[in-house]
Amino acid sequence: MTGLRLHPFTLLAIAGALPALAWILPAPVGGAWTAAVALALTLTPGASPGNTGIGSSPDRRPGFVVFRTAVLTATPFWLFLLLLHDVPTTIAIGLRITTMVASFVWLVAALEPPRLVEAMIAAGWSASVAYLLAATLSAVPGLKTRAQRIVEAQRCRGLSPRGGIPARLRALRALALPLILSALHEVDERALALETRGLVPGVRRTPLAPPPDPVLERAARWALLLACLAALVRRLIVASPT
């Protein structure tokens, strides 16, 4: 079973349950297990659907690329933990953070936003909620490119980002203001486009290709939730006498 075939809600449930269990189960054994599972997930073939490798390593297995991303993201936390805590605490918190990082890196690689939107609409969620997530994800790269253009344009006009803090703050204002004002002017255009397409808040839409949601996966999601609750209750009961 690969990440590609799983229902988006199942992917979210796994990515949510693993960090929850990492924090609930006793450290460091619980965290070690959840971190191992999360890192193993990053090696599954479905972790990067349609991806044949990244950058300078196109022949590497996509799963390994996801694994490497997870490890590289988690490593600085271990260094900072060692700087601030003793070794047992570093291991306990580090394993939890590694679980969280690996789970989310795997989720980002396995989850396709259009499938999630379809699944949310099929489950009866408002199309507005799905729009908020998808529109933000698509707007960020565009605004970042615009921010870079503004930086270059202001430099051409002689804006210097050097000097003391007041000078830098003035430079920041000159860079941020055009970006924010231009973005706000887009709101009307977006509202018009949404209205034209009939995305009025509260209206239900019919999904075009809802992802299949087998009974087994639905049961697995409930089982994950119950496992987290059971672990939490057990932890509280075991911890309370001491």
Partner 1 sequence: MSIRLLALIPVAAAISLALSAAVDAVALPLFLDTTGTILATALAGPGVGIATGVVTSAVNTLRNPTFWPFVVVQIIVALYAWVAARAGLFRSFRTAVPAGLGLGVIASVTSTPISYLVFGCTTTGGIALTTALGKALGLPPLGACFFGSFVSDFGDKAVTFALVTSVLHGLPRRTAARFPWALRAIGAV
Task: Catalog residues that contact partner 1 under the rule CB under 8 A.
Answer: 19, 23, 73, 76-77, 80-81, 83-85, 89-90, 93, 97, 100-101, 103-105, 107-108, 128, 131-133, 135-137, 139-140, 142-144, 146-148, 150-151, 161, 165, 168-169, 171-173, 175-177, 179-181, 183-188, 190-191, 194-195, 199-201
How far apart are CB 63 and partner 1 at their closest, in Å? 19
Nearer to partner 1 (CB atom), residue 142 or residue 214: 142
Rounded to 10°, the helix 8-24/87-110 angle is 180
User: Which of 65, 63, 73 has its CA nearest to residue 43?
Assistant: 63
Cβ–Cβ under 8 Å, residues 49 and 110: yes
Residues 15 and 108 sit within 8 Å (Cβ to Cβ):
no
Query: C-beta of 135: minimal distance to partner 1 in Å?
Result: 4
Please, are residues 75 and 62 in contact by the beta-carbon 8 Å criterion?
no
Eight-state DSSP code of residue 51? -
Cβ closer to partner 1: 143 or 218? 143
- Residues shown for the chain: 242
Cβ distance to partner 1 smaller for residue 159 or 220:
159
Q: Which residues pair with 57 in a beta bridge?
A: 54
Cβ proximity to partner 1: between 40 and 177 the closer is 177
Residue 194 Cβ vs partner 1, minimum distance, rounded to whole Å? 5
Q: Are 41 and 47 in contact (CB under 8 A)?
A: yes
| Nearest distance, CB of residue 205 and partner 1, angstroms | 14
